[in-house]
């Protein structure tokens, strides 16, 4: 069903939908079968399913839904890290160079450092906010794959995807964009010149904090085949139930993102006016360093805010004094969460640095709650 001319709310509800059949459910449940009956025909004849690890109706529905939103061909994975692993190992060989964000998701750096290096891949790291400058300077000549995360996690820096894509292609490199924070409704990197989109659908895309998923979307058929081959051979494919949950959850993505963005705008302004808080970041605030690019490149704001509180103890007091702030390390869900990133040791951030993922609570309630909790820091 074509939804290209519709708005976001209609697109996510109708994404992956087939023509209605009388007497059939509006949304089928997950298909759990592993082996399928083969009868006396060749495996896969007439499009018949053979083995669910490679293909099944539940998986196809999800991939069709996300592919329509990303404007590409999509492969689903068992987690965001499984998706990122496929991009790394499906695109790189020994002796080639990978450029990755120095201030992006730290487990991606850990994967590259611990495993790609021992297979002979050269690793270079660069901050999201300076990747364009470094590419112009020729610092990554000979790179095969450049990964950017924009907005970056957790610092929310933004880079200019069309410009970075052009520079990468001039140097013979593929550009992959981690689009986890923005989601396909907030940003479509393939339409901006990227070769690969990778995302953790554990976060905002599924949005209910109850499953692990990831995906990769591409335009090139050869690249798709390479990534699918890696996924199918390694078995990094999500189970039918998780895939069905994620597919069902996509229908509310537009509504969830709108409320989360509304809450993020209010919380960012509240934090910016609090004397106990510094370095408030939200790319849609007009005085944010990322605003000029984000407002031009992104399709809508997202619900993640970052800031620095005076200390780890101040973060603990903020959460203890709140009824609506939940300490959790994931983001993009229905509940507003606070993550003190320094406790994990993977990011170069202050002890009081927090990533706040605004949920779908009523904005007035969340503002009142955070206002009360901020007083506990002063006290």
pLDDT single digits (tens) 226-263: 999 999 999 999 999 999 999 999 999 999 999 999 99
Nearest-angstrom CA–CA distance, 238 and 74: 13
Q: Is there a domain that residue 245 lies in? A: yes
What angle do helix axes 363-378 and 253-272 make, rounded to 10 degrees?
30
CATH number at residue 343: 3.90.1150.10
Q: Is there a domain that residue 363 lies in? A: yes
Question: Does the structure show a pLDDT above 90 at 54?
Answer: no
pLDDT value, residue 365 = 97
Q: Is there a domain that residue 176 lies in? A: yes
pLDDT value, residue 20 = 74
Residue 35: DSSP 8-state:
B
Domain-terminating residue out of 234, 251, 268: 251
Residues 243 and 370 in one domain: no
Q: Is there a domain that residue 3 lies in? A: no
Question: Does the structure show a pLDDT above 70 at 37?
Answer: no
Place of tokens 């939940």: 326
Considering the entire predicted model, what is its pTM? 0.93
Q: Is there a domain that residue 1 lies in? A: no
Tell which wins on pLDDT, 194 or 379: 194
Question: Does the structure show a pLDDT above 70 at 18?
Answer: no
Residues 111 and 231 in one domain: yes
Residues 271 and 313 in one domain: yes
- Sequence-distant (6+) residues with CB within 8 A of 271 are 277, 280, 305, 307, 370, 374
pLDDT value, residue 22 = 75
Question: Does the structure show a pLDDT above 60 at 3?
Answer: no
Residues 53 and 169 in one domain: yes
Q: Is there a domain that residue 208 lies in? A: yes
Question: Does the structure show a pLDDT above 60 at 2?
Answer: no
Average pLDDT over residues 24-33: 73
Residues 228 and 261 in one domain: no
pLDDT value, residue 39 = 67
Give the 3-state secondary structure of residue 267. helix
User: What is the per-residue pLDDT across 66-109, written as a single tens digit (0 to 9) for each?
Assistant: 999 999 999 999 999 999 999 999 999 999 999 999 998 999 99
Residues 161 and 77 in one domain: yes
Question: Does the structure show a pLDDT above 90 at 300?
Answer: yes
Taking CB atoms within 8 Å and a gap of at least 24, the contacts of 337-342 are 339/154, 340/312, 340/315, 341/154, 342/312
pLDDT value, residue 1 = 40
Residues 168 and 26 in one domain: yes
- β-pairing, 73-77 with 97-101? unpaired
Percent of the chain with pLDDT strictly greater than 90: 81
Tell which wins on pLDDT, 169 or 29: 169
CATH number at residue 46: 3.40.640.10
Q: Say if residue 154 is preceded by a cis peptide, omega within 30 of 0.
A: yes
Tell which wins on pLDDT, 94 or 53: 94
Question: Does the structure show a pLDDT above 50 at 373?
Answer: yes
Mean pLDDT value across the chain: 92
Question: Does the structure show a pLDDT above 90 at 62?
Answer: yes
Q: Is there a domain that residue 2 lies in? A: no
Residues 183 and 305 in one domain: no
What angle do helix axes 221-234 and 80-91 make, rounded to 10 degrees?
120
Contact 336/318 with Cβ under 8 angstroms? no
- Sequence-distant (6+) residues with CB within 8 A of 24 are none
Taking CB atoms within 8 Å and a gap of at least 24, the contacts of 69-72 are 69/11, 69/12, 69/15, 69/184, 69/185, 69/188, 69/250, 70/179, 70/184, 70/188, 70/190, 70/197, 70/215, 70/217, 71/188, 71/190, 71/191, 71/217, 72/190, 72/197, 72/217, 72/218, 72/219
Give the 3-state secondary structure of residue 219. coil
Residues 233 and 311 in one domain: no
| Domain coverage including residue 301 | 254-378
pLDDT value, residue 324 = 97
pLDDT value, residue 50 = 72
Residues 265 and 176 in one domain: no
Residue 14 — very low, low, confident or very high, per pLDDT cuts 50/70/90? confident
Domain-terminating residue out of 196, 220, 251: 251
Average pLDDT over residues 287-316: 97
Of the listed ranges 17-21, 71-75, 213-217, 328-332, the least confidently predicted one is 17-21
Residues 37 and 172 in one domain: yes
Q: Is there a domain that residue 194 lies in? A: yes
Nearest-angstrom CA–CA distance, 192 and 169: 13
Domain-terminating residue out of 219, 251, 283: 251
Residues 75 and 192 in one domain: yes
Element (H, E) at 123: strand 122-126
Max mean pLDDT range (112-116, 195-199, 373-377): 195-199
Question: Per the structure, how many domains does the chain have?
Answer: 2
Nearest-angstrom CA–CA distance, 205 and 227: 21
């Amino acid at each position: 069903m074509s939804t290209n001319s519709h708005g976001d709310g209609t697109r996510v509800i109708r994404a992956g939908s087939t023509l209605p059949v009388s007497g059939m459910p509006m949304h089928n449940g997950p298909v759990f079968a592993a082996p399928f009956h083969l009868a006396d025909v060749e495996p896969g004849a007439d499009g018949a399913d053979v083995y669910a690890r490679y293909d099944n109706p539940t998986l196809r529905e999800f991939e069709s839904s996300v592919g329509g939103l990303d404007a590409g061909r999509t492969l689903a994975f068992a987690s965001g890290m499984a998706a990122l692993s496929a991009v790394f190992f499906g695109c790189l060989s020994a002796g080639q160079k990978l450029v990755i964000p120095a201030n992006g998701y730290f487990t991606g750096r850990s994967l590259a450092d611990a495993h790609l290096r021992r297979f002979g891949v050269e690793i270079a790291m660069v901050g999201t906010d300076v990747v364009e400058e470094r590419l112009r300077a020729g610092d990554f000549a000979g790179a095969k794959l450049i990964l950017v995360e924009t907005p970056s996690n957790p610092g929310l820096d933004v880079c200019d995807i069309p410009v970075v894509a052009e520079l990468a292609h001039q140097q013979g490199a593929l550009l992959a964009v981690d689009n986890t924070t923005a989601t396909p409704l907030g940003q479509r990197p393939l339409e901006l010149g990227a070769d690969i989109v990778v995302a953790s659908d554990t976060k905002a895309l599924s949005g209910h904090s109850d499953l692990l998923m990831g995906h990769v979307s591409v335009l090139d058929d050869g690249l798709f085949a390479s990534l699918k081959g890696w996924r199918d051979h390694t078995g990094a494919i999500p189970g039918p139930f998780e895939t069905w949950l994620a597919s069902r959850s996509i229908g509310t993505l537009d509504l969830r993102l709108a409320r989360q963005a509304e809450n993020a705008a209010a919380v960012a302004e509240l934090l910016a006016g609090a004397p106990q808080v510094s370095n408030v970041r939200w790319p849609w605030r007009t005085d944010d360093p990322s605003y000029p690019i984000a407002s031009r490149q992104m399709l809508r704001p997202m619900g993640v805010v970052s800031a620095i509180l005076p200390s780890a103890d101040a973060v603990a007091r903020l959460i203890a004094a709140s009824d609506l702030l939940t300490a959790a390390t994931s983001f993009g869900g229905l509940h507003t969460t606070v993550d003190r990133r320094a406790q994990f040791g993977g990011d170069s951030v202050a002890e009081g640095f927090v990533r706040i993922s605004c949920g779908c609570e009523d904005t007035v309630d969340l503002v009142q709650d955070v206002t009360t909790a901020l007083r506990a820091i002063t006290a």
